[in-house]
A and B are shown apart, each in its own frame.
Chain A
């Protein structure tokens, strides 16, 4: 499926034209089983679909009365969804998968809706940046050539080792996208990020860089205090480091793996079974919010930034949020570059819960020892299918198309749930990813567990 930006634009203008001719029909509201819902989120810009669905009245249109509640950290958020204090939440894509296979708290969590693509960055402290700089290739304008590979960091880490200093980095959660992206990037430069084992869940077995958990909003403060030398986190916390002059973002995840899946909307399996109509209704509201965020080539992003900057949502300064949301990303102070797809909420079928996304997370869990034993390809596919529920998503999308809110062309109606393999050119270490063959993919990676290998210790 070669879906370029231009066709997306053409299609969206077409959709708009048709939408303006057709006034959306007053649809029969779904008979929701539970209409007062509480959803949790973490203060990150990619919670935007939730804020928009609330502020633009999409939840209310579906007959849902939603309370949005910021949570202290990912673990609290997941636990509260499991205990039923929250009906659903903005989750890391790895969380439903890890909970379902029993890494951490065991509970069957499912997702009918992928929230966004990309949106993370890796930031290092000013000191590390100064040490990295001599090893970077410079362009004709004197600025570093992007993407910056971890090879430059390897020299710094080796230098730390020689002095007997540990090299610490922060990530937001053991099963977070950030953890896997940071590990991927480090490993692609030959820095070992450490293994997990059933008896040692620190994830630092044999590590060159010691990774530990810090909640996203505290990343800049922890970096400033010198507890960590760098981190991988979602926005606005990379741009915040630039604004405060305490660190330098070196790479965005868009450059590590183009258009990678990031957050999902997680619910317990029980909830979806007991409240099928509610699940459909909330999926509909979220799809409409995602569309609003991306329509007319991001025309609504400025308003979205204003909404997200309110203290009840992300609460950071509007200009910090605006940086990435409006398609630019500032690396070193003054080095602003255009990254139009830094935050994608709707384009490229971003909201469809692809099995291949789930499989990639599972391969990374296996790669770093969170899944201690080898698993068959079937197991990967089965697990993905028990967590990702595209059927609910397509049903919701079909209703929205019938109501005239979205265009037919916005959804991959005929997909088997696997994206076309990501070509080698779109991934930083040039290793292609095909979701249909997880074990072959694991074998093709350099650092990491393969085949029957287990972590000793």
Chain B
């Protein structure tokens, strides 16, 4: 009996603990786009179902209805448009092609496995004959999943380079009016230039300077990445400059009173205050970079999703349009996920204003 009375408050505090965990997690789930999980978790934990159901309707049911309505409209309207490649595919055909692409992927992987098996047999013979065995990588076509991975790597690299260039420049131009005056016209001129215009220039310069490519960094990857850099660095640069310039004067003065060296001022005062805006810039940059990458890959015929779209367009088969739509949806979903990822990072690294 005594035990029972002992456990009751603990159970209660346990339940409270669960709720506080859920509340803490809800911010993160929001950032990652899983806000609809929160009311479900709360219901599971035993919160009043009515309030939670209303919440669930708002964050889950309404968006789902929107998507459903879109799919319906698409399914009804698509067959009415006849192109020279047949009718525009509806959601069903697109889903079918997504399955096809997956089958393609598994088939290609099987072919690769067969190739390695043959290679092992050859090598056994070579070893038996007292020769050096030869190991070579399989040379099949990149599957749809491979193309997605390539695109992600490229955009990651381009975005990384852009960040490394834009953040220091932004800090510089935020801290010094002179420096800002010097680079501002350049930013204004280069910002609106399309990736398609940069591409030939980048291609020529990289072909000339990066003559002997490393295996892990093919020329095509670098060309696409640098194009992404040139187009996506501007939002980061501008927002960083703005964030740094608008750091609270009191904070800067405190730094002066303490006689902090410039480097400490930047790391201790400027960066923490400017971080929210820097992250806003980074989010914008990543969005732009992802968008630009597809165009760059398309034009330069560099491996990735853009090339997939272009190749399918060139194929002009009855399945091409549906496959391109699969790619469009993939590009959209990945872009959305990248944005959410940046948002989550922003939450992790910035201090809220009231801290």
A residues with CB within 8 A of B = 35-36, 43, 60, 65-68, 70-72, 76, 83, 85, 217-218, 220-221, 224, 240, 244-246, 309, 311-312, 314-317, 320
Q: A60-B118, A315-B312 are in contact. List 10 more A-B contacts (CB 8 A).
A: A65-B136, A65-B139, A71-B301, A72-B301, A220-B84, A245-B84, A311-B312, A311-B317, A315-B315, A316-B317
Contacting residues, chain A, for B118 (C-beta < 8 A)? 60
| Distance in angstroms between the alpha carbons of A245 and B85 in the assembled complex | 11
Q: Are B84 and A244 in contact (CB under 8 A)?
A: yes
CB nearest neighbor in A for B134: A35
Looking at B84, B310, B311, B323, the one whose CB has the most chain A CB atoms below 10 A away is B84
- 22 pairs of residues in contact across A and B, judged by CB atoms under 8 Å: A35-B134, A35-B136, A43-B314, A43-B315, A65-B136, A71-B301, A72-B310, A217-B316, A221-B84, A221-B316, A224-B84, A244-B84, A309-B317, A311-B311, A311-B312, A311-B317, A311-B323, A314-B315, A315-B312, A315-B314, A315-B320, A320-B317
| Distance in angstroms between the alpha carbons of A83 and B207 in the assembled complex | 9
A166–chain B nearest beta-carbon distance, Å: 24
Known interface pairs A76-B301, A83-B207. Does A240 touch B316 (Cβ–Cβ under 8 Å)?
yes
Contacting residues, chain B, for A36 (C-beta < 8 A)? 136, 139
A399–chain B nearest beta-carbon distance, Å: 20
Known interface pairs A224-B84, A246-B84. Does A217 touch B314 (Cβ–Cβ under 8 Å)?
yes
- Of residues 250 through 297 on chain B, the ones whose CB sits less than 8 Å from some CB of chain A are none
Identify which of A67, A85, A312, A316 contacts B316 (C-beta below 8 A): A316
CB nearest neighbor in A for B311: A70
A-contact 0/1 string along B180-224, CB 8 Å cutoff: 000000000000000000000000000100000000000100000
CB nearest neighbor in A for B84: A244
Contacting residues, chain B, for A43 (C-beta < 8 A)? 314-315
Identify which of A68, A224, A246, A315 contacts B311 (C-beta below 8 A): A315
Question: Top 8 closest A-B pairs, CB basis?
Answer: A315-B315, A244-B84, A312-B141, A217-B314, A67-B139, A317-B317, A65-B136, A72-B301
Contacting residues, chain B, for A245 (C-beta < 8 A)? 84
A344–chain B nearest beta-carbon distance, Å: 25
B176 at the binding interface (Cβ < 8 Å): no
Total B residues in contact with A, Cβ cutoff 8 Å? 23
B321–chain A nearest beta-carbon distance, Å: 12
B318 at the binding interface (Cβ < 8 Å): yes
| Distance in angstroms between the alpha carbons of A66 and B138 in the assembled complex | 9
Contacting residues, chain B, for A85 (C-beta < 8 A)? 219
| Distance in angstroms between the alpha carbons of A312 and B315 in the assembled complex | 9
| Distance in angstroms between the alpha carbons of A317 and B318 in the assembled complex | 6
Contacting residues, chain A, for B139 (C-beta < 8 A)? 36, 65-67
Contacting residues, chain A, for B84 (C-beta < 8 A)? 220-221, 224, 244-246
Q: Is the interface of A mostly helix, strand, loop or mixed?
A: mixed
CB nearest neighbor in A for B85: A244
Known interface pairs A244-B84, A246-B84, A311-B311. Does A220 touch B316 (Cβ–Cβ under 8 Å)?
yes
A66–chain B nearest beta-carbon distance, Å: 6
How many pairs of A and B residues are in contact by the CB < 8 Å rule? 58
Looking at A65, A83, A217, A315, the one whose CB has the most chain B CB atoms below 10 A away is A315
| Distance in angstroms between the alpha carbons of A70 and B302 in the assembled complex | 11
| Distance in angstroms between the alpha carbons of A218 and B85 in the assembled complex | 13
| Distance in angstroms between the alpha carbons of A76 and B314 in the assembled complex | 15
Q: Are A315 and B219 in contact (CB under 8 A)?
A: no
Contacting residues, chain A, for B104 (C-beta < 8 A)? 311
Contacting residues, chain A, for B85 (C-beta < 8 A)? 244
| Distance in angstroms between the alpha carbons of A435 and B310 in the assembled complex | 41
CB nearest neighbor in A for B220: A85
| Distance in angstroms between the alpha carbons of A36 and B138 in the assembled complex | 10
B208–chain A nearest beta-carbon distance, Å: 11
- Of residues 294 through 346 on chain B, the ones whose CB sits less than 8 Å from some CB of chain A are 301, 310-312, 314-318, 320, 323
| Distance in angstroms between the alpha carbons of A433 and B78 in the assembled complex | 54
A322–chain B nearest beta-carbon distance, Å: 13
| Distance in angstroms between the alpha carbons of A83 and B213 in the assembled complex | 13
Contacting residues, chain B, for A83 (C-beta < 8 A)? 207
| Distance in angstroms between the alpha carbons of A320 and B219 in the assembled complex | 36
Contacting residues, chain A, for B317 (C-beta < 8 A)? 309, 311, 315-317, 320
A22–chain B nearest beta-carbon distance, Å: 22
A315–chain B nearest beta-carbon distance, Å: 3
CB nearest neighbor in B for A219: B316
- Of residues 129 through 177 on chain B, the ones whose CB sits less than 8 Å from some CB of chain A are 134, 136-137, 139, 141
Contacting residues, chain A, for B310 (C-beta < 8 A)? 72
CB nearest neighbor in B for A83: B207
Contacting residues, chain B, for A317 (C-beta < 8 A)? 317-318
| Distance in angstroms between the alpha carbons of A354 and B10 in the assembled complex | 94
Contacting residues, chain A, for B320 (C-beta < 8 A)? 315
| Distance in angstroms between the alpha carbons of A244 and B320 in the assembled complex | 14
A73–chain B nearest beta-carbon distance, Å: 10
Q: Are A70 and B314 in contact (CB under 8 A)?
A: yes
Contacting residues, chain B, for A314 (C-beta < 8 A)? 315
- Of residues 82 through 138 on chain B, the ones whose CB sits less than 8 Å from some CB of chain A are 84-85, 104, 115, 118, 134, 136-137
| Distance in angstroms between the alpha carbons of A224 and B84 in the assembled complex | 9
| Distance in angstroms between the alpha carbons of A85 and B207 in the assembled complex | 10
A-contact 0/1 string along B54-95, CB 8 Å cutoff: 000000000000000000000000000000110000000000
Looking at B134, B136, B316, the one whose CB has the most chain A CB atoms below 10 A away is B316
| Distance in angstroms between the alpha carbons of A3 and B170 in the assembled complex | 76
CB nearest neighbor in B for A218: B314
Contacting residues, chain B, for A316 (C-beta < 8 A)? 315-317
CB nearest neighbor in B for A73: B301
| Distance in angstroms between the alpha carbons of A65 and B115 in the assembled complex | 10
Contacting residues, chain A, for B141 (C-beta < 8 A)? 68, 312
| Distance in angstroms between the alpha carbons of A266 and B118 in the assembled complex | 29
Contacting residues, chain B, for A72 (C-beta < 8 A)? 301, 310
| Distance in angstroms between the alpha carbons of A85 and B84 in the assembled complex | 35
| Distance in angstroms between the alpha carbons of A43 and B315 in the assembled complex | 8
B116–chain A nearest beta-carbon distance, Å: 12
Contacting residues, chain A, for B315 (C-beta < 8 A)? 43, 217, 311, 314-316
A59–chain B nearest beta-carbon distance, Å: 9
Contacting residues, chain B, for A65 (C-beta < 8 A)? 136-137, 139
Looking at B134, B219, B315, the one whose CB has the most chain A CB atoms below 10 A away is B315
Looking at B104, B141, B312, the one whose CB has the most chain A CB atoms below 10 A away is B141
| Distance in angstroms between the alpha carbons of A221 and B314 in the assembled complex | 10
| Distance in angstroms between the alpha carbons of A431 and B216 in the assembled complex | 57
Contacting residues, chain B, for A311 (C-beta < 8 A)? 104, 311-312, 315, 317, 323
Contacting residues, chain B, for A320 (C-beta < 8 A)? 317
| Distance in angstroms between the alpha carbons of A309 and B310 in the assembled complex | 16
A241–chain B nearest beta-carbon distance, Å: 9
| Distance in angstroms between the alpha carbons of A311 and B315 in the assembled complex | 7
| Distance in angstroms between the alpha carbons of A240 and B141 in the assembled complex | 25
CB nearest neighbor in B for A321: B317
| Distance in angstroms between the alpha carbons of A246 and B84 in the assembled complex | 8
B310–chain A nearest beta-carbon distance, Å: 8
| Distance in angstroms between the alpha carbons of A224 and B287 in the assembled complex | 35
CB nearest neighbor in A for B107: A310
